[in-house]
Structure 1
Amino acid sequence: MNVKTAKSINQTSQSHFPNPELFTERNTEALVELLLDEMQAALGSGVRVREPSNSSVTPLKPLPSRARAVVERIAVEVERICSKSDRIQTSGEIHSWQLTLARHRLQKCLSYYKLGSKQGRVELHSSLSVMIYRHVAQPHSQLKFSARYNLIEDFLQDFYAESLKAFRRENQVDADYSPRTQLELAEYMAFTEHYAKRRITLPNRSSQQLIVLRAQSFAKRQPSETPVDIEQAVEYAKGEEAQEYSRTATMQQVRSRLVAESTDPSELVLRERVVSELVQYLEDQGHSDCADYLVLKLQDLAAPDIDEILGLTPRQRDYLQQRFKYHVEKFSRSSHWKLVHQWLGADLDQKLGMSSDQWEAFLAQLDDQQQQLLSLKQAQKSDGEIAKILSCTPKQAQKRWTQVLELAWKTRNSEGSLVEE
């Protein structure tokens, strides 16, 4: 069987498609067929072939899902643009413009399609961010990069929603339409880029991109910057005028942020001490692999990275995690219990981190010997003194105290059951 192929939309011989130069503005179906061929060739799916006996089309490989609907919307959009542009209408080359615009929009859509949904979003977000970086804040505002970044994120979230509404309106799709396939998502991202770059004519006969105008309006809606003297915010106000100024909402807001962001140095020192003691404890106990695991976890490394560094399989890592958890619990209830509980804010003078009701329930579970041990601990007696009073060895006294701490842990973490009762 002899077949003829349409290899390009510029092919003028041996093709059953209309010659592009002979397109009429109403020949939408022929334009759609040519764009489908362009898509199939660009995606490496071969070319579509036609049998001379009839006009049926048999694809060598299936096109992406909903490809025809996407191409039809491109064709209709291009016709709309050509019909509304005075420059195109007076040029005498309406069909040539129609093909050029259709091919450009198709290639833009396919470029996002080839990038994939994730990378395509990144590229679109980056392009739009560059366009509005200078305009998203007032011209004389002294904003750093992080502040502008937050403004850009807030602005683009609204702009994406606006773009989707415009897409629904201009393509006459359902009011709740959302891209479902990768090609439809690529179509929407290409539309968003074109929508952002639309030139809007201003009263002074100049023009500006639509997204820039939106960003400038967004910047005008932002609250104006208020200069604040940080020294006045942290120092005691002297004089009636200074005290009145210190009571303003702005100064109170700055003061509260300074307090919230301040870090207690003693807490950092205590944390570092706990980590150092734990690492030393694991190494002394012959569990250097657990110590290495702790160091890597403190660096916020992902599980696959830890596996690669330590040369572990997932199963070996699970076993290591179980051993690590066991030794950490043993560390927190043995000779280092006081250090750990101080760091957690659950020392004896804080009822071991329990509420009043939990503390009463905890005391009710202790026998006479355990209550005596608790009283001795509260009196800050040494392990040797406690062992002598209880007539036991220091190791036995430590073991009994570990049992008390385990009971306190169970009581502290059984708040739900206490409420139910």
Structure 2
Amino acid sequence: MLTASQHEAIRQSEEATFQLVFDELRHSTSASEQNCQDVATRLSAEVARTCTQSERIRSSGKLEAWATELARHRLKQCLDYYQLGSLRGRVELHGTLSAIVYRYISPSHTQSSYQARVLLIEDFLQTFYAEALNALRREAELSATYSPKTLLEVSEYMSFTERYGKRRISLPRGRSQQLIILRAQTFSKQQPPETSIDMDRAAEGTMSDSDTHRDDASVGQVREQIVSQEPDPGADLLRQTVIRELIAYLDEQEQSLCADYFVLRLQDLPTHEIETILSITPRQRDYLQQRFRYHLTRFALSHHWELVHEWLEVDLDRNLGLTPSQWEELHEKMSSEQVELLTLKCQKLPDSEISRRLGCTPSQLKKRWFKLLKYVWELRNQP
């Protein structure tokens, strides 16, 4: 039971956190004042509930400090998703939750392909997103038909969903577990054996998407790696870095539509859904895809070639991913100038020094290295 002084402290802290969140939302977003006020009210009420329910916070004697810290954490989450936007925010949330439940959702042992697991995770998360929305409606005392509409409301929902999934649920013998893991374990146990077979067949169908066949070797390998969701923490961190850098590169090139297309492809949506979301015709989508492939190639083989090659484990320390026979073939077909360029690159010399030794400008060096890397990728991916 709360004492009268604790009730008063919580009330005052809720007012203070509301003002903190409201002021920051007004400063950091373009949402309307009413929209900011509504979201700030819900976030501050959530903080107050947490403080009320936590015996550790109530007995700490530092209720106001706890409330401020919790409010800042929720505010940062919400603004992070707001800055990402609805499409990229969805990818970030989906990736975060997928990484948590990956090991807890598995198909039948007879059909344990990676693609089958990914499709099961997709199925599970769609259900979990609906559960999180219902939880937000219930806890924030919203109507049963409430659905986030503005970017700020969508950001609030995504940040709430992340926190909801990570809530610790008490278990017997003093143990606890994250809510989303408990849901994933239950979901996995409920899957009938034939489900995994259907998933594998569906996966085979998705791989025959017509535009995938037209990708060249380098673009195909980059895209295949980007859309994978292997659970290795180190590999996932590098993958997320590549995704962020590619989106930033597309934005720098003023290719925001390509960035949106890339985000939708990350979700493995069929082409007709992508066309609907982007409000483009099939012909426009085909042109957009070609433009994206062009920029992806430039990104992978020129602007961020070291990052991409390290991520794909085909960097210079690994002979650019070539087999011994391919490495020998490469040296046989390279000109003396290309051999010297590759040698200097393998020595990890800065481009300024390599340009000086080869007697070329930085721009010329970049073009020569791009041409060489492109040939290496074709050689590495040939049948």
Q: Which has the larger radius of gyration?
A: 1
TM-score w.r.t. the length of structure 2 is 0.48
TM-score (norm 1): 0.44
Q: Which of structures 1 and 2 has the larger relative contact order (alpha carbons within 8 angstroms, sep 6+)?
A: 2
Quick check: which one's helix share is greater? 2
